[in-house]
Amino acid sequence: MKFERMEIRAFLDELASDSPAPGGGSVAALCASLGSALVSMVANLTIGKEKYKDSWQTMEDVVGKSESLRFKFIDLMNKDTESFNTFMAAMKLPKSTEEEKCARRKAMAEASKLATKVPLMTLEACVEMSELAYLAARDGNPNTISDAGSAALISEAAGKAAAYNVKINLPGVTDETFSADFKARMEEALVQLTANVKKTEELLDKSLS
């Protein structure tokens, strides 16, 4: 069953169980989807309100992107667990002969790539979400600025959680070019994410002081 079709209580029970998946990667994507939904809410509470007419176009652009991200994060929530299951299946492959050992190593290396790729996609999408949260805080309905700020903080927490999942899976990748590229992308995304959130926090501190 897809996670988004589960009742909240059932999902939390599954998360709290002794099953290793869903885990931090799926939770990061879930949290990010909630942050995107908050951004959409701010935009929707701005569009159509005459006093915020100058912000309508910006907020229409924001809500289009935030809704796309919301569904992307839901997909990544499922894919993260699927990638973990793929890795576990590779680990369970037979290893009695040299041929089997070789096949198993290759399968595990490929599975590690997938298990690294999914959380990196989550992290990079969190950077996009943090940019939208800033726009929502800057140009959205001022009565919802705390919601936009919450979305920004969620993007940071979810993005950093996703980065941890990239880091823990990278050692299993044997392709050095792939590993170096993904590490560089991760580090760049974290820098951008931190900068975007800091900018939003400064805006909220000024507006709410």
In a domain? residue 10: no
Query: pLDDT truncated to tens, each residue of the chain (209 aa)?
Result: 677 777 889 999 999 999 888 999 999 999 999 999 999 999 999 999 999 999 999 999 999 999 999 999 999 999 999 998 999 999 899 999 999 999 999 999 999 999 999 999 999 999 999 999 999 999 999 999 999 999 999 999 999 999 999 999 999 898 999 999 999 999 999 999 999 999 999 999 999 98
Domain of residue 41, CATH code: 1.20.120.680
Q: What is the per-residue pLDDT for 5?
A: 79
User: Count of domains in the chain?
Assistant: 1
Q: What is the per-residue pLDDT for 95?
A: 92
Within 10 angstroms of residue 6's Cβ, the number of other Cβ atoms is 13
CB 84 within 8 A of CB 19: no
Q: What is the per-residue pLDDT for 175?
A: 92
Q: What is the per-residue pLDDT for 157?
A: 99
CB 148 within 8 A of CB 137: yes
Q: What is the per-residue pLDDT for 6?
A: 76
In a domain? residue 36: yes
CA distances from residue 134 to 44, 149, 162, 197 in whole angstroms, order as listed: 15, 8, 20, 7
Q: How many helices (H) and strands (E) does the chain have?
A: 6, 0
Q: What is the per-residue pLDDT for 122?
A: 98
Residue 78 domain boundaries: 21-208
Measure the CA–CA gap between 167 and 181, rounded to whole angstroms: 13
Q: What is the per-residue pLDDT for 1?
A: 65
Tell me the one-letter amino acid at 186. Answer: M
CA gyration radius, the chain: 20
In a domain? residue 48: yes
Give one word for 93, left, alpha or beta, with left for phi > 0 and alpha for psi -120 to 50.
beta
Within 10 angstroms of residue 188's Cβ, the number of other Cβ atoms is 12
